């Protein structure tokens, strides 16, 4: 069965600090997709990134970057120079066919 | 940008009552889903729907739940006799065979169901 582990439950940083959110996954599929979603206090799920299992290139989008390492089954997310607006719950998810398996989420608090 | 629309945003119902949560998926999408998130917990898959039938369901999706696409635009989740533990945020999502590989799903903004 698929599994996504987000071992960190809550992280608190001061604005402008860098922060890394960890995600470790388990799957027997050879082709799979990994995602990160952001859930702000308003409750909706905001798509951040998708990565397929054949593409291990790291990706950077503004202050966000993702590090995918198949050898360690990890897909970590770094926010550089964090801002108060980054405060949210962040979920890592793994696809199984068209079904997504989510991790338990990491609550990030960014203090001014 | 196309959106998945869910109504209502918040619903309060009495235990034992039937409730219907409504979703309008993106018009050219073919696959539809419901997920549930109990407060403070992870998002969990309930059911997927394609070609007017359930394609996959989780063990959470028992006989008290049903889904329907009553017309060409709406996708509904019915909970027959609500229990206190059904209180959660329910997310609808849709995808086509291409976007699930490219962008994942498009999620709606959710319906917060409170059973009292």
**Cβ–Cβ gap B42/A103 under 8 Å:** yes
Mean pLDDT of B98-103: 60
Per residue in B57-68, pLDDT (tens digit) is 999 999 999 999
User: How many Å lie between the alpha carbon of B82 and the closest alpha carbon of chain A?
Assistant: 22
Nearest residue of A to residue B5, measured between CA atoms:
A44
Separation in Å, CA of A6 to nearest CA in chain B: 11
Token pair in block for residue B10: 């918040």
pLDDT the model gives residue A80: 96
Give the Cα separation of A99 and A97 in Å (integer).
Answer: 6
Q: A43 and B100: CB-CB below 8 Å?
A: no
**Residue B26 pLDDT exceeds 80:** yes
Confidence of residue A60 (pLDDT cuts 50, 70, 90): confident
Of B30, B42, B88, B81, the C-alpha closest to A105 is B42
Q: What is the largest CA-CA distance in chain A?
A: 43
Q: What is the pLDDT of residue B100?
A: 58
Minimal-distance CA residue of chain B relative to A40 = B109
Region of A97 on the Ramachandran plot (φ > 0 left; ψ -120 to 50 alpha; else beta): left
Per-residue pLDDT, averaged over B87-98, amounts to 89
Residue B63 Cα, gap to closest chain A Cα (Å): 20
Q: pLDDT band for B102, please (50, 70, 90 cuts).
A: low
Whose tokens are 């390492």? That residue is A69
State the smallest CA–CA distance between residue A80 and chain B in angstroms. 23
Does B104 contact A50 at a Cβ distance shorter than 8 Å? yes
**For A22-47, what is the mean pLDDT?**
93
| pLDDT on residue B84 | 97
A35 touching chain B per CB within 8 A = yes
Query: Sign of torsion, CA B42 B43 B47 B48?
Result: negative
Q: Does the pLDDT of residue A106 top 70, yes or no?
A: yes
The three-state secondary structure class of B88 is strand
Chain-chain contact of B109 with A43 (C-beta, under 8 angstroms): yes
Confidence of residue B44 (pLDDT cuts 50, 70, 90): very high
**Residue B35 gets which letter from DSSP?**
E
Cβ distance of B103 and A50 shorter than 8 Å: yes
CA distance A86 to A64: 10
* Residue of chain A nearest B57, judged by CA positions: A99
Best of B43, B47, B48, B97 to substitute, by most chain A Cβ atoms within 10 angstroms, is: B43
Question: Among candidates A38, A16, A44, A49, which has minimal Cα distance to A88?
Answer: A38
Least confident range from A6-20, B70-84, B95-109: namely B95-109
Whether B104 shows a pLDDT value over 70: the answer reads no
- Is the bond leading into A71 cis (omega within 30 degrees of zero)? no
Mean pLDDT throughout B90-106? 77
B-chain residues near A52 (CB < 8 A): 101
**Of the candidate ranges A52-56, A81-85, B34-38, the one whose mean pLDDT is the lowest:** A52-56
- Tell me how far the alpha carbon of residue B57 is from its chain's centroid: 12
**Spatial separation of the C-alpha atoms in residues A100 and A24, rounded to whole Å:** 15
């Amino acid at each position: 069965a698929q599994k996504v582990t987000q071992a960190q439950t809550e992280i608190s940083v001061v604005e402008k600090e860098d922060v890394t959110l960890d995600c470790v996954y388990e799957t027997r599929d050879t082709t799979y997709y990994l995602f990160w979603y952001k859930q702000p206090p308003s409750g909706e799920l905001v798509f951040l990134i998708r990565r397929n299992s054949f593409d291990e290139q790291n990706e950077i989008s503004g202050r966000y970057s993702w590090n995918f390492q198949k050898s360690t089954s990890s897909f970590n997310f770094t926010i550089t120079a964090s801002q108060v607006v980054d405060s949210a719950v962040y979920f890592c998810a793994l696809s199984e066919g068209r079904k997504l398996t989510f991790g338990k989420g990491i609550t990030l608090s960014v203090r001014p | 940008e196309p959106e998945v629309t869910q109504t209502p945003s918040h619903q309060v119902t009495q235990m034992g009552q039937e409730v219907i949560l409504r979703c309008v998926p993106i018009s050219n999408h073919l696959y539809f889903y419901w997920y549930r998130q109990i407060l403070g917990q992870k998002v969990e898959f309930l059911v997927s729907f394609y070609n007017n039938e359930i394609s996959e369901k989780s063990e959470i999706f028992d006989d008290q739940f049903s889904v329907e696409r009553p017309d060409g635009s709406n996708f509904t989740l019915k909970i027959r006799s609500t229990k206190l533990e059904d209180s959660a945020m329910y997310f609808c999502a849709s995808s086509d065979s291409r976007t699930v590989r490219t962008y994942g799903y498009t999620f709606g903004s959710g319906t917060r169901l409170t059973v009292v």
